[in-house]
Structure 1
Amino acid sequence: MRAMPAPPPSTAARRRFWPLACALLALSVLVAATFAVPAVVAELRPAWQHAQDGPGAGAPGASSAEDASEREAHGADDAAASPDPAAAGLAAASGTVDAAGVTEALDAGLTGAPGTVAAAVAVAGEDTVVAGRSQERPMVPASNQKVLTALALAATVDPYERLETTAVRGDQPRELVLVAGGDTLLAPGEGRADAVNGHAGLGTLAERTAQALRQDDPDAAASGQWTVELDTDLFAGPELNPAWEGEDIAAGEITRVAPVALYSHRVPTADGADPGSRGERPEDPAAAVAREFARQLEQRLGSGASVTVGGTASAPEDAVELARVESAPVSEQSAYMLAHSDNSLAETLARVAAVASGREGSVTGVQELIPAALAEHGIDTGGLRAVDASGMAQQDRVSATTLARAVDTLVTDPRYGPYGRGLPVAGAEGTLSERFDDPAEAAARGVTRAKTGTLLDVVALSGYVQRADGSVLVYSLVLNGVSGGTTRAKDTVDRTVAALAGSG
Structure 2
Amino acid sequence: MKQGIVRLLLLLAALPVHAATLAADDYALWLAPVDGGAPIAEHRADAAMSPASTMKLLTSWVALQTLGPNYRWQTRFVSDAPIKNGVLKGDLVWVGGGEPRFRADDLVAMLRELRRRGVREIAGNLVLDGSVFSRVSSADDFDGDAECVFAIPPDPHLTNLKVAWLQFFNDGAGVRAALEPALPGVVLDSRLSDGGDGECGDVRSRVAVRHDDSRVEVSGKLPRACDGAQTFLNLLSPADFAGQSFAALWRELGGAGPRRVVAGTAPAGARVLASHESEPLSTVLADVNKYSNNTMARTVYLTLGRGPGDTPANAERAVRQRLAEAGVSDEALVLENGSGLSRHERFSARLLGEVLRNGARGPWYPELAASLPIAGEDGTLKKRLKDWGPRLRLKTGTLADVRALAGYYQALDGRRYALVAFVNGTSVAETNGAIDELIGDALARLPR
**Bin for the TM-score computed over the shorter chain:** 0.7 to 0.9
Whichever residue aligns with residue 254 of structure 1, its letter is A
1:211 alignment partner in structure 2: 116
> 1:279/1:142 Cα in 2 relative to 1: closer, same or farther (>3 Å)?
farther
Whichever residue aligns with residue 112 of structure 2, its letter is E
Out of 110, 114, 119, the residue aligned to residue 22 of structure 2 is 114
> 1:102/1:386 Cα in 2 relative to 1: closer, same or farther (>3 Å)?
farther
Whichever residue aligns with residue 42 of structure 2, its letter is G
Does residue 345 (structure 1) correspond to residue 253 (structure 2)? The answer is no
2:424 alignment partner in structure 1: 480
TM-score normalised per structure 1: 0.68
- Is 2:305–2:313's contact at 8 Å kept on the other side of the alignment? no
- Alpha-carbon shift at residue 260 of structure 1 (Å): 2.6
- Alpha-carbon shift at residue 249 of structure 1 (Å): 3.0
Does residue 495 (structure 1) correspond to residue 440 (structure 2)? The answer is yes
Task: Output the CA distance in 2 between the equivalents of 1:360 and 1:129.
Answer: 40
1:144 alignment partner in structure 2: 54
Q: Deviations over 1:352-375 (max 9, x none)?
A: 1221xx564633333333222222
1:65 alignment partner in structure 2: none
Out of 238, 241, 247, the residue aligned to residue 138 of structure 2 is 241
- Alpha-carbon shift at residue 240 of structure 1 (Å): 5.6
Any stretches of 5+ residues in structure 1 without a counterpart? 1-97, 191-200, 215-220
1:254 alignment partner in structure 2: 151
- Alpha-carbon shift at residue 418 of structure 1 (Å): 2.0
- Alpha-carbon shift at residue 301 of structure 1 (Å): 4.5
Q: Deviations over 1:47-73 (max 9, x none)?
A: xxxxxxxxxxxxxxxxxxxxxxxxxxx
More helix as a share of residues:
1
> 1:497/1:360 Cα in 2 relative to 1: closer, same or farther (>3 Å)?
farther
Q: Deviations over 1:156-187 (max 9, x none)?
A: 21211211111111468321111111213122
Does residue 309 (structure 1) correspond to residue 260 (structure 2)? The answer is yes
Task: Output the CA distance in 2 between the equivalents of 1:392 and 1:405.
Answer: 22
Q: Secondary structure at the match of 2:304?
A: helix
2:286 alignment partner in structure 1: 335
Task: Output the CA distance in 2 between the equivalents of 1:500 and 1:425.
Answer: 20
Task: Output the CA distance in 1 between the equivalents of 2:356 and 2:75.
Answer: 31
- Is 2:158–2:242's contact at 8 Å kept on the other side of the alignment? yes
Whichever residue aligns with residue 361 of structure 2, its letter is T
Work out the percentage of aligned pairs sharing the same amino acid.
24
Q: Deviations over 1:440-482 (max 9, x none)?
A: xx1x221111110111111110101011211111010111113
Measured on the aligned residues, the alpha-carbon RMSD in Å equals 2.7
Does residue 296 (structure 1) correspond to residue 254 (structure 2)? The answer is no
Whichever residue aligns with residue 230 of structure 1, its letter is L
1:202 alignment partner in structure 2: 107
Q: Secondary structure at the match of 2:78?
A: strand
Whichever residue aligns with residue 124 of structure 1, its letter is V
More strand as a share of residues:
2
Report how many residues are paired: 374
Q: Secondary structure at the match of 2:164?
A: coil
1:431 alignment partner in structure 2: 380
Q: Secondary structure at the match of 1:316?
A: coil
2:340 alignment partner in structure 1: 391
1:232 alignment partner in structure 2: 130
Task: Output the CA distance in 1 between the equivalents of 2:353 and 2:331.
Answer: 14
- Is 1:452–1:461's contact at 8 Å kept on the other side of the alignment? yes
Task: Output the CA distance in 1 between the equivalents of 2:11 and 2:379.
Answer: 30
Q: Secondary structure at the match of 2:40?
A: strand
Any stretches of 5+ residues in structure 2 without a counterpart? 83-88, 167-178, 183-230
- Is 1:241–1:363's contact at 8 Å kept on the other side of the alignment? no
- Is 2:76–2:276's contact at 8 Å kept on the other side of the alignment? yes
2:95 alignment partner in structure 1: 179
Out of 64, 86, 94, the residue aligned to residue 154 of structure 1 is 64
- Is 2:288–2:294's contact at 8 Å kept on the other side of the alignment? yes
2:203 alignment partner in structure 1: none
1:264 alignment partner in structure 2: 161
Task: Output the CA distance in 2 between the equivalents of 1:222 and 1:263.
Answer: 24
Q: Which runs of 4+ in 1 moved over 6 A?
A: none
Q: Secondary structure at the match of 1:264?
A: helix
